[in-house]
Structure 1
Amino acid sequence: MRSDEQRPLGRPRASDQTQPTTESITEAATQLFTKNGYQTVSVNDVAKQCNVTKATIYYYFPSKAELFTETMVQMMIRIRKRINAMLHEPIPLKSRLYNITKTHLSATVDIDINGFMKGTTHTLSPEQLERINKAEMDMYQSIEQVFTHAMEQKEIREINPVFATHAYLSLLKVGNYNNEKQAKIYDSIDEMAEQIIELFWEGVQIKES
C-alpha cells in the first residue's frame, strides 16, 4: 500500500508542504481573526486562506476554539520576542521605547487583545482562556522587567512598573485612533511616535529638584 493511502484523514502530503502546516494555518488564522474577529471567521475561511482542506485544519486543531487559542498564543509569543529584542538594544531606554512605538504604529494590524477576545467568553474553555491570558501577561512582563531595571539604574523614577507598563500600552492604543473621517491625530508615524514618547517620558523621567 502506498504511504499516501496510510495517511490519517486530513493529514497533508509531505510533498505538498512548503512550510510546516501548523505554521501556515496559524498565519492564515491570524490574518483573518485580527481583521474580522472570532465570531465571523469560520474554519472553512481559514482553510481557503491557506489553501488546505477543512479536514486538514481539524487534523491539527480539533475545534475553532482551539485554533483561535493557538493563534492568539503564537501571535503574542512573536510580539514578545520582537519586543524583547528591541528592549535589549544597547541604546537609552527612551530611544528603545520610541523604536517600539514606531514599529507598533507601522504595523498593518492594530494589536487590540480585548477587541480580538470579544464574543469568546462563552465559547472558549477556562483552560483556553488561561493560556491566552498567560501569553498576554508574558508579553507585558518583558516591558515591566525593563522598567524595573531602568528604575534600579536611576534611568527613570521609581513608580509601580505594572502601572508604568499599562500607561505606556494605553498611549500606544491612542496612536491607532482614527477620527470620523478615518484620519490619524498626526500626519506622520514619526510625529505620532515622538508625541507618545514625550508624553510618557514626562511622567517617568527623574526631574531635578
Structure 2
Amino acid sequence: MNNKKDESNLTKMHIVDTAIDLFRQRGYYNVSVTDICKASKISRSTFYYYFKSKDEIFDSFLLKPELIIFDKLPSILINSSSYIEQFYQIFETFLKEMMETGPEIFGQVLKRNIDNGDLKILVPYQITMWDIYINLIKKAQEAGEINNPNPPEEIVEAITYITVGISVIWCNKNGSFDLIAKNRQILEALLLVKDELKAKLN
C-alpha cells in the first residue's frame, strides 16, 4: 500500500515539476494541459486524476518551499541571535523560494490563493509553522525585541496580508525592486523593532 502511495506521490510531483518548468520557459498562459501531459508523458486522464485544472498545480507546488523550511529550521533556530531574527529567517526563506520561480509564476500562485480567499499563502500550510511564527513573535515581545503590543496571532496575520500586498506589487513590476529588503523595512515599522536590532537585521 505504501509503495503505491509513494509511486502516486512521485507521479504527482513529476507533473508539478514538469508544469513549472514549462511555465518558466513559455509563460503560464502559453502552456496548456495537453502540453503538460505531453512533456510529462502521461495521459489527460492521469492529469485529471491528480488535478482538476492547470492552476491547481500550484497547490502542490507550495509543498516544496515548506519542506525546505523544515529542513533549515533547526539551523535557523540555533544560529539566529534573537527571536525576531529567527522569525525573519524562517519567513524570508519561504519568500525567497517563491521569488526564485519568477514574477509570473509567483504572481499566479498569489492570484490563485487570493481568488480562493486564502491570504495565508506566505505562511506554510502546516499548523505547526503557524504556531512557530506566533510563538516567535510572542517571545520577541516578551524579550523586548519588538514593541507592538497586539496579540501575536493578529500580528502574524497582519504580516501575511502586508507581505502578500508587497509581493503582488513586486510581481506586477516584474521583480524590479528588492522584495526582501522592502518587506523587511515595512515589517520593522509594523513590529516596532528595537533600533539596535534593526542594524543587525539589515
Q: TM bucket by the smaller chain?
A: 0.5 to 0.7
- Give TM-score, length-normalised by structure 1: 0.54
1:139-150 map, 5 Å: 141=130, 142-150=132-140
- Matching of residue 103 in structure 1 with residue 103 in structure 2: no
The separation in 2 between residues aligned to 1:89 and 1:150, in whole angstroms, is 16
Q: Which amino acid in the other structure matches residue 21 of structure 1?
A: T
1:126-205 map, 5 Å: 137-138=125-126, 141=130, 142-157=132-147, 158-169=149-160, 170-171=162-163, 173-174=165-166, 177=169, 182=174, 184-185=176-177, 189=178, 192-205=179-192
Contact kept? 2:110, 2:168, Cα under 8 Å:
no
2:42 corresponds to which of 36, 50, 53: 53
- Matching of residue 72 in structure 1 with residue 58 in structure 2: yes
Contact kept? 1:47, 1:53, Cα under 8 Å:
yes
The separation in 2 between residues aligned to 1:180 and 1:137, in whole angstroms, is 25
1:54 deviates by: 1.9
**Matched positions, count:** 170
The separation in 2 between residues aligned to 1:22 and 1:73, in whole angstroms, is 12
The separation in 2 between residues aligned to 1:89 and 1:109, in whole angstroms, is 30
- Give TM-score, length-normalised by structure 2: 0.56
1:65 deviates by: 0.7
Contact kept? 1:33, 1:116, Cα under 8 Å:
no
Contact kept? 1:105, 1:175, Cα under 8 Å:
no
The separation in 1 between residues aligned to 2:51 and 2:189, in whole angstroms, is 44
Q: Which amino acid in the other structure matches residue 112 of structure 2?
A: F
In structure 2, relative to structure 1, the CA distance for the partners of 1:32 and 1:180 (3 Å cut) is closer
Per chain length, whose mean CA-contact separation is higher, i.e. which structure has more relative contact order (CA < 8 Å, sep 6+)? 1
In structure 2, relative to structure 1, the CA distance for the partners of 1:105 and 1:73 (3 Å cut) is closer
The separation in 2 between residues aligned to 1:163 and 1:172, in whole angstroms, is 15
Please give the per-residue CA displacement for 1:75-112, whole angstroms capped at 9, x wherever unaligned.
Answer: 22222233443563521344441671772575233434
Provide the identity percentage: 12
Please give the per-residue CA displacement for 1:137-173, whole angstroms capped at 9, x wherever unaligned.
Answer: 4377253343234334443344233432243332364
The separation in 1 between residues aligned to 2:182 and 2:114, in whole angstroms, is 30
2:12 corresponds to which of 13, 22, 27: 22
Contact kept? 1:25, 1:46, Cα under 8 Å:
yes
194-203 or 85-94: bigger deviation: 85-94
The structure that has the greater radius of gyration is: 1
Cα-Cα RMSD: 4.5
Q: Which amino acid in the other structure matches residue 174 of structure 1?
A: I
**What secondary structure does 1:198 align onto?**
helix
Structure having the higher helix fraction is 2
**What secondary structure does 2:126 align onto?**
helix
